[in-house]
Amino acid sequence: MINGIKPLPSVSDFDSALHRLLDNIHKDYQGWSSRIEYSSGVEKVDITIKTGRKFIKIIRDNSVWGFVAKADGVHKGVPMKTGDVLKAAGWSAPAKHTRGNIFDNNQDYFSWTGPDYR
């Protein structure tokens, strides 16, 4: 902390936390698919990342999994921090409230289908 101001995470910290989120999504999918009898043998879910101006959109197969905030700011009147994870309100917009953060040690706020309601 410098002069009472907490510095933003470095790019490498953000990238590694985002990769950890994606790995945990894959692990959750593997745990789910191993519990069902008709598993197709797919080991990983298809995930694509699209970077926007304020958010990173995570696309699972052909639907939006959720959004990750790229920087501190305000979204729909609610403050958000770098790394906050938001549910999708639609294809191109995140919902209002955050569900978790990629920098948290506790990574139980989501499943392979998307961020959980809290």
Other residues' Cβ atoms within 10 Å of the Cβ of residue 49: 12
- DSSP letter (8 states) at residue 7: P
Residue 116 has pLDDT above 70, yes or no: yes
Tell me the residue type at 108.
Answer: D
Give the pLDDT confidence score for residue 59 in this predicted structure.
Answer: 94
Residue 10 has pLDDT above 80, yes or no: no
d(CA 77, CA 87): 16
Give the pLDDT confidence score for residue 7 in this predicted structure.
Answer: 59
Nearest to 71 by CA among 53, 86, 87, 59: 53
d(CA 67, CA 77): 17
Q: How confident is the model at residue 28 (pLDDT cuts 50, 70, 90)?
A: confident
Give the pLDDT confidence score for residue 26 in this predicted structure.
Answer: 86
Tell me the residue type at 1.
Answer: M
Other residues' Cβ atoms within 10 Å of the Cβ of residue 60: 17
Residue 36 has pLDDT above 60, yes or no: no
- Between 4 and 63, where is the model more confident? 63
Mean pLDDT of 46-54: 92
| β-strands 84-88, 63-69 pairing | antiparallel
Mean pLDDT of 89-114: 89
pTM of the model: 0.80
d(CA 101, CA 2): 23
Nearest to 115 by CA among 76, 82, 78, 84: 84
